[in-house]
Amino acid sequence: MTKIDFKKTLKHLYAPKKNFETVDVPEMQFLMVDGHGDPNTAQEYQDAVEALYAVAYKMKFISKKTLEKDYVVPPLEGLWWAEDMDTFITREKSAWDWTMMIMIPDWITFEIFTDAIEQVRKKKDLPSLDKVRLENYQEGLSVQIMHIGSYDDEGPVLAKMHTEFIPSNGYVENGKHHEIYLSDPRRVAPEKLKTVLRQPIR
């Protein structure tokens, strides 16, 4: 049984260049949980991520066992927004809204999702389990870049993306700021963290 790694099969989405590039992002299926607040301190954020991973790994297990299709669970991703989008440049994290999510292969059905939820519920008491949903999401045309460094060093890159690259190329923003976390911050030094920064445009 081969194990699919979507970071490799979808390299154009998970391994962009270190300078701005445009990409057409297709519709994909995600596990999602919505929330609000500073990801470093909000319990709601920790609960959301814990629930997402629990369900994602259970679905992978079901896929491998019942469908004989194995895959590497894709990295954590986040959609971020706020009433005042300048808070992303100034890093006022308590003002942020977010949707944390993990991409799920298209062969995973809603039945597998509900089965996974119930299996997790029997083993773990997770406060955000009932907030987890399975949903399709399509960004379409987007600008993205690979950011290497601390999350708090994203401000200047985002400012350049939004105030220089997007308008100078004739685009306007068309959706929520999107980040893909390729590194585990528990194991990787802040200056070496790899994060895909993406903004839908039209």
Average pLDDT over residues 152-170: 93
pLDDT tens-place string over residues 173-188: 999 999 999 999 889 9
Least confident of 68-77, 89-98, 137-146, 149-158: 89-98
CATH number, span 3-200? 3.20.80.10
Separation of alpha carbons 24 and 10, rounded Å: 12
How far apart CA 180 and CA 147 sit, in angstroms, is 10
CA–CA gap between residue 182 and residue 148 (Å, rounded): 10
Residue 83 banded pLDDT, cuts 50, 70, 90: confident
Classify burial at 168, counting beta carbons within 10 Å of its beta carbon; exposed 0-12, middle 13-18, buried 19 or more.
exposed
Domain ranges of the chain: 3-200
